[in-house]
Amino acid sequence: MKQGYSLGINKLVFILAALVLAIDLCGQDPQFSQYYANPVYTNPAFAGSSTVGRGVINYRSQWPSISGTFRTFSASYDEHYDIINGGIGIMVTGDEAGEGTLRTMSISGAYSYQIIINRYLTIRAGLQASIFQKSIEFGKLKFYDQIVKQRGFVNLTQELPTSPTVFYTNFSAGMVAYTNYFYGGFAVHNLNEPSPDFYSGTNDQSNTPSVVPMRYTGHLGLMIPIIKTRFEKRATNLYPNILYMQQKQFNQLNAGLYLSKGQYVIGGYFRQNSVNSDAIIILLGLRLPKLRIGFSYDATVSEARPGARQSYEVSLAFELRKRTPKRSIRSIKCPEF
């Protein structure tokens, strides 16, 4: 029993040492499986892309079966305004990792401008500016110099404390083109590659600042009518779509489709990267006159499955104010989940 405990401690020491000695550590952004259910987060050009005021709430729990799971929350409101021929969006996001050790909060404002190309094609171009607050509880961190063999974390660490909170600004841009049956777009987040560095001044222990790399997102989709009716909400449609993201050396591809029949939605996606397959995503949705509810379940298929079997996500979207749109306003009817 002592031998097994010793092996576990040695493995933990190795992992911690590898993290401490890493030369270049870069943060990554949170992700959502229901990326169209969180449109302004996916692409700022989606701000105001509906003919009504739209409020959206999203919650994601990443790998709840392991300690220190990732929990991400997002809430936004966006609407199209005739006077500026575009949309305004406001978004608040929060992310928690490591049992509350690392927290990130942000507030963002987005603006999109509508460009009518012809009677079928419309383009929206968007910009987004954000203020981030990142905080860390240094007392919850564990370091290799605290470990005593066969006794665990005993000693006091010699690591210098960090700044508990840092603030930084962030900027993003995007564009989306769409017709009644096609939608596609491109977005770049973290344009200024901000540095949320907790060590600064005399406490700076590295000559290489940590940065949040630019994240590139491309997305395409179709709406294929299966059964048409006079009432759009009663029709049956098929929505195949694909999304690709790249952030430094990391990439991700989501491909799949969902089927809507009246107020009910069911679908599935497959997520993978250039190294291995990641997860199978099952989607269920309900579309009511002024409310949309989505639930997705990510079943892990990679080698991480024994310890991180699943993730789940919930989305709510509200139509807060009905309006009679002018002919110049063209909403994106296709993406919903």
- DSSP sequence for 285-302: EEEETTEEEEEEEEEE-S
Task: Report yes or no on 82 lying in a domain.
Answer: yes
> CA 42 from chain center: how many Å?
7
pLDDT tens-digit readout, 51-86: 788 999 999 998 887 776 789 999 999 999 888 999
> What total of structural domains would you count in the chain?
1
pLDDT of 203 reads 47
Query: Burial, 236: exposed, middle or buried (Cβ in 10 Å; 0-12, 13-18, 19+)?
Result: middle
pLDDT for residue 173: 98
287 vs 305, which has greater pLDDT? 287
Return all residues near 273 (Cβ < 8 A) that are at least 6 apart: 250, 251, 252, 253
- Percent of the chain at pLDDT above 90? 49
Residue in the block written with tokens 């991180």: 308
Q: For residue 279, how many other CB atoms are within 10 A of its CB?
A: 22
Paired sense of beta strands 291-300 and 277-288, if any? antiparallel
Q: What is the pLDDT of residues 213-267, one digit of tens each?
A: 999 999 999 999 998 877 777 789 999 999 999 998 889 999 999 999 989 999 9
Residues pairing with 317 in the sheet: 56, 292
Any domain includes 266: yes
- Which pLDDT score is estimated for 290? 87
Asked, for residue 294, whether it belongs to a domain, the answer is yes
Task: Tell whether the model's pLDDT for residue 325 goes beyond 90.
Answer: no
Please state whether beta strands 147-148 and 215-222 pair in parallel, antiparallel, or not at all (unpaired). Answer: unpaired
Domain that holds residue 247: 2-321
Residue 165: per-residue pLDDT: 87
Measured at the CA of 255, the angle between CA 287 and CA 245, to 5 degrees, comes to: 105
Q: Is the pTM here over 0.75, yes or no?
A: yes
Confidence class for position 192, pLDDT limits 50, 70, 90: very high
Residue found by looking up tokens 């079997």 in the block: 309
Q: Please, what is the average pLDDT of the chain?
A: 82
pLDDT at position 18, please?
A: 35
What is the DSSP pairing of strand 152-153 with strand 147-148? antiparallel
| Residue that the structure tokens 């979207």 belong to | 317
Q: Per the domain annotation, does 332 fall within a domain?
A: no
Q: In 3D, which of 120, 113, 130 has the Cα closest to residue 47?
A: 113
- What is the CATH classification number for the domain harbouring 238? 2.40.160.40
- Tell me whether residue 174 is in a domain: yes
Give the residue-averaged pLDDT of 295-307: 86
Evaluate whether residue 46 is within a structural domain. yes
Q: Which residue has the higher pLDDT, 5 or 259?
A: 259
Residue-wise pLDDT tens digits, 77-130: 999 988 899 999 999 999 988 766 888 999 999 999 999 999 889 999 999 999
| Residue 25: pLDDT band with limits 50, 70, 90 | very low
Q: What is the DSSP string of 81-141?
A: EGGGTEEEEEEEEEEEETTTTEEEEEEEEEEEEEEE-SSS-EEEEEEEEEEEEEEE-GGG-
